[in-house]
């Protein structure tokens, strides 16, 4: 049985924090906008890491940004190796995480349903009086 806070989870969280700083400070490509690293999934042998990112601005193309990040993965891996003391630094693969967009859309739907329900109750109260 795995521990509650396994080593892979701790390493993944540290990689997430370090990559967020590295992308912000070291990646100078203008095709990469405001990127947030939302999660990192590491294989059990810690040789591969799937990095989930979200774009915060709509000015940049998602596919282009992911392509640039994947091409910069060797540079980021090397910089990560300098910052962290790991025997093996995992290879990085960047993927777009659409959960923020889905969450925003669901929140908007919920807000509109609540507003509609509130409006219907006000109309029912006015008609009952």
CB-based burial of residue 5 (10 Å sphere; 0-12 exposed, 13-18 middle, 19+ buried)?
exposed
Q: Where are the domains of the chain?
A: 7-97, 98-129
CATH of 7-97, one of 2.60.120.260, 3.30.300.20, 3.40.50.720, 3.40.50.300: 3.30.300.20
How many contiguous H segments (helices) and E segments (strands) does the chain have? Answer: 4, 3
- pLDDT score recorded for residue 1: 47
For the stretch 52-104, pLDDT in tens is 999 887 777 888 989 999 999 999 999 999 998 888 899 999 999 887 777 78
Cβ proximity of 32 and 55 under 8 Å: no
Whether the pLDDT of residue 4 is over 70: the answer is: no
Residue 27 has pLDDT above 60, yes or no: yes
pTM of the model: 0.75
């Amino acid at each position: 049985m795995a521990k509650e806070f396994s080593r892979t989870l701790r390493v993944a969280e540290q990689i997430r924090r370090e990559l967020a700083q590295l992308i912000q400070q070291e990646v100078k490509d203008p095709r990469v906008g405001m990127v947030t690293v939302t999660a990192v999934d590491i294989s059990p042998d810690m040789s591969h890491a799937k990095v989930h990112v979200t774009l915060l601005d709509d000015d940049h193309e998602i596919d282009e940004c992911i392509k640039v990040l994947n091409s910069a993965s060797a540079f980021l891996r090397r910089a990560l190796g300098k910052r962290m003391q790991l025997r093996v630094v995992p290879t990085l693969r960047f993927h777009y995480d659409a959960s923020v967009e889905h969450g925003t859309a669901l929140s908007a739907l919920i807000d509109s349903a609540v507003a509609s329900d509130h409006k219907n109750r006000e109309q029912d109260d006015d008609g009952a009086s």
